Amino acid sequence: MLYKILSALIQKQSDKWALKRFNLFLDLLKPAENSTILDLGGYNGKFFYKFQDMIKHIDLKIIIADIDKQALNIAKARGFETLLLDETGIINLPDKSVDIVFCNSVIEHVTLPKENIWGCFDDKIFKEKSEIRQKSFADEIKRVGKKYFVQTPHVDFIIESHTWLPFMAKLSRRNLIKSLKFSNKFWVKKPSPDWNLLNEKQMNLFFPEANEIMINRVLGLKKEIIAYKNE
């Protein structure tokens, strides 16, 4: 019972943050009638599906792109167009073919191939290889999109967003894997250690032409980073 209550409370707060983020996306990008939006890493379309009433007055073409074929089947059943990706990070679309790329808590997961995640204990190797792939992923976002909105959790936030646990982002790679193997046995979140969290400097390097690298805060603490280009 306590497990369910805790999970529901955390999810409720997460939903509030998601709504705030979606309102910010609409305010900054102002998607126009007949715009094409690519939800990059959008899984089963849950984000746009959750807030569909907020954009139903705009005739938008929304494409959900993800590496999970089963999730895309759900997105398709929800009425979205879909695009299956592979782990290379290459987006099989022409240059500037979508009006807006929306990328929500995804770029931090563009790291090592999934089969290598649990076996990489070296911090330097993991970060160096991850940042190479993340830079390439950012380049693809800029290539296919005329505009973009890219959000990622901030590395310095006290609560690590993939685990909902404090200070996890500051652990060494080896200690993170060890901690997850333990916490995944009982905690409400059971993630794979596939994320490389970013800071402002890295996002500026990935998106130097962005209108702004925005920092959203909670209780004065840096919670998330958003790079956006709206022109």
Tens-place pLDDT, residues 148-185: 999 999 999 999 999 999 999 999 999 999 999 999 99
For 22-89, give the secondary structure using H, E and C: HHHHHHHHCCCCCCEEEEECCCCCHHHHHCHHHCCCCCCEEEEEECCHHHHHHHHHCCCEEEECCCCC
Given a cut of 80, whether residue 6 has pLDDT beyond it is: no
> Residue 206 burial by CB count (10 A; 0-12/13-18/19+): exposed, middle or buried?
buried
Q: What is the mean pLDDT of residues 189-212?
A: 97
Q: What is the mean pLDDT of residues 96-119?
A: 96
Counted residue by residue, the chain has a size of 231
Q: Which has the closest alpha carbon to 138: 156, 120, 152? A: 152
**107: its two tokens:** 């770029």
Count Cβ neighbours within 10 Å for each residue of 93-108 and write b for 16 or more, e otherwise.
Answer: beeeebbbbbbbbbbb
- Say what the pLDDT of residue 13 is: 78
> Residue 193 burial by CB count (10 A; 0-12/13-18/19+): exposed, middle or buried?
buried
Q: Which residues contact 134 (CB under 8 A, 6 or more apart)?
A: 107, 108, 110, 111, 196, 198, 202, 206
Q: What is the Cα–Cα distance from 45 to 71, expressed in whole angstroms?
A: 8
One DSSP character per residue, 175-197 reads: HHHHHHHHHTTTSS----S----
Determine the Cα angle at 163 with ends 196 and 6, to 5°. 160
Bridge partners of residue 166, in order along the sequence: 159
Please give the share of the chain, as a percent, with pLDDT higher than 70: 97
Radius of gyration of the chain (CA): 17
Model confidence, pTM: 0.94
Higher pLDDT: 81 or 15? It is 81
Q: Are 224 and 154 in contact (CB under 8 A)?
A: yes
pLDDT digits (tens, 9 = 90+) for 36-83: 999 999 999 999 999 999 999 999 999 999 999 999 999 999 999 999
Cβ-based neighbour number of residue 48 at 10 Å: 22
Q: Are 149 and 103 in contact (CB under 8 A)?
A: yes
